[in-house]
Amino acid sequence: MKFRCERDVLAEAVGSAGRAATSRTGTLPVLAGVRMEVAGDTLVLIGTDLELTIRLTVDVGGERDGSAVVPARLVGDIVKALPSGAVEVELLEEEVSISAGRSQFSVRPLSLDDYPTQAEPSDDAVTLPADAMADALRQVVRAASTDDARAVLTGVLLAAEDDGLRMVATDSYRLAVRDLPDSTVLESGQKVLIPGRALSELQRVIGDAESLTVRLGEREATFEAGSTRLSTRLIEGEFPNYRNLLPSSYPNLLTFGKATMLEAIRRVKILAQDSTPLRLTLGGDTVQLTAITQDVGNAAEEIDASYDGAEMTVAFNPDYLAAGIDAIDSDDVTLATMDPMKPAVLRGAGQDDYLYLLMPVRVP
């Protein structure tokens, strides 16, 4: 194996594939590597931890066909550190040579024979607009849990609805729901649970692509955007019945400017230390934000808002609240509540395709 490639192109490719490689102890050592295969002027890079696989192709100046598995993080750091220009990579008898300009590195490859083979995805493919999918992922994935103790909550539910596709994620403290009308990925009544980690990587993979090709198998989902393919195992298990959390109506409605509220939260949460909740005092034509941390201090700020409902004070985790507001694609945001102990719902003013439900925090 021998090829030449521009430094920035190779660094990005190794970094992308390397995000699927694992550094966990107790796994196959070869899974910490990226597989490189040169055929003609095409370089294929693959990274996998057996749960998530990222495969991409890059145009290179190929001089000798061949394959090697190289340590993902080490080679990524080497390539990024090289001077700009062409990088030459060559597999020798017991090492991989990486050079550019006057810089020369050599690393020991990992076992090519031990690297897992990659199955080809199913032929049944659906193509979606990439920008719509990227926007939905940005809004929903943030609500998925990162705690492996409850595996089903680390996933994002994709479910067929009458008018298209619905994406749902929850970590039991918040819930995000996004509808994609006219997007038919699943058959009627079908649903799958895709790891949130994989969909976080998919957001990077989509990039500036115009379309996203989706293939759903019995145990695996595959996404293709441009020259990159991401595959992930589906999560087995039953997703919680989130519909029971969504009341049909809310008697109290607060409307505020998105940018103004985010700036106020950013300032007030400086005093929201050690899981201190952020209190919102609702009533009249303003909303007051307050954070009180015992033995440290307190902060308060008032912003203009429109409120229709009973006067009350409701408290939230400030990071979860800010994340929900940030996810909304609207200059004005509504916060609908029933009472200080019931879940509240954030939406874009006049928008029904996305909601972010947030559990309140009990305060004295």
The CATH number that applies at residue 31 is 3.10.150.10
Supply the pLDDT for residue 75.
97
CA angle 310, 314, 318 (to 5 degrees): 145
If asked whether residues 275 and 301 sit together in one domain, one would say yes
Sheet holding 61-64, edge to edge: 61-64, 2-6, 86-91, 96-100, 103-107
The predicted model scores a pTM of: 0.90
Let me know whether 133 and 203 are in one domain: yes
203 domain-assigned: yes
Instruction: Mark whether 147 and 228 lie in a shared domain.
Output: yes
Instruction: Give the distance between the most distant pair of CA atoms in the chain.
Output: 77
Give the total number of structural domains in the chain. 3
Mean pLDDT by 10 residues, the chain (364 residues): 97 96 79 97 96 96 97 97 96 95 96 89 82 94 93 93 89 95 77 94 91 88 94 94 85 96 96 89 94 91 96 96 96 95 94 94 86
Alpha-carbon distances of 27 from 31, 34, 110, 111, 115, rounded to whole Å: 7, 15, 14, 14, 12
Domain-embedded: residue 165: yes
Using the 3D structure, point to which of 244, 278, 293 is the last residue of a domain: 244
| pLDDT for the residue numbered 26 | 62
Q: What are the φ/ψ torsions at residue 119 (nearest 5 degrees)? A: -80, 145
Could you tell me if 239 and 267 lie in one domain? no
CA 166 from centre of chain? 17
By the 8 A CB rule, do 268 and 278 touch?
yes
Q: What are phi and psi of 276, to 5 degrees?
A: -65, 130
Q: Measure the CA angle with vertex 198, ends 193 and 203; round to 5°.
A: 115
Q: Are 291 and 267 found together in one domain? A: yes
Q: Which of 206, 37, 10, 158 is nearest to 109 (CA)?
A: 37
Indicate whether 255 and 294 sit together in one domain.
yes
Check whether residue 65 and residue 81 sit in a common domain. Answer: yes
pLDDT at 218: 82
Calpha distance 1→92 (Å, rounded): 8
What's the pLDDT score for residue 123? 66
Give yes or no: residues 134 and 180 share one domain.
yes
Bridge partner residues of 323 (DSSP)? none
23 and 49 in a common domain: yes
User: Which phi and psi angles does 356 have, rounded to 5°?
Assistant: -130, 110
Structural domain of 312: 249-358
Q: Is the domain of 82 the same as that of 10?
A: yes
112 belongs to a structural domain? no
Would you give the distance in Å from CA 274 to the centre of its chain? 26
The reply to whether 239 and 253 lie within a common domain is no
Question: How far apart, in whole angstroms, are the C-alpha atoms of residue 354 and residue 346?
Answer: 9
> CA–CA separation, 94 vs 262, rounded Å?
55
- What pairs with residue 159 in β-bridges? 166, 191
Provide the 8-state DSSP code for 145.
Answer: -
The predicted pLDDT at position 190 comes to 84
The C-alpha angle 257, 259, 260, rounded to 5 degrees, equals: 65
For residue 117, being part of any structural domain is answered with no
In a domain, 289, yes or no: yes
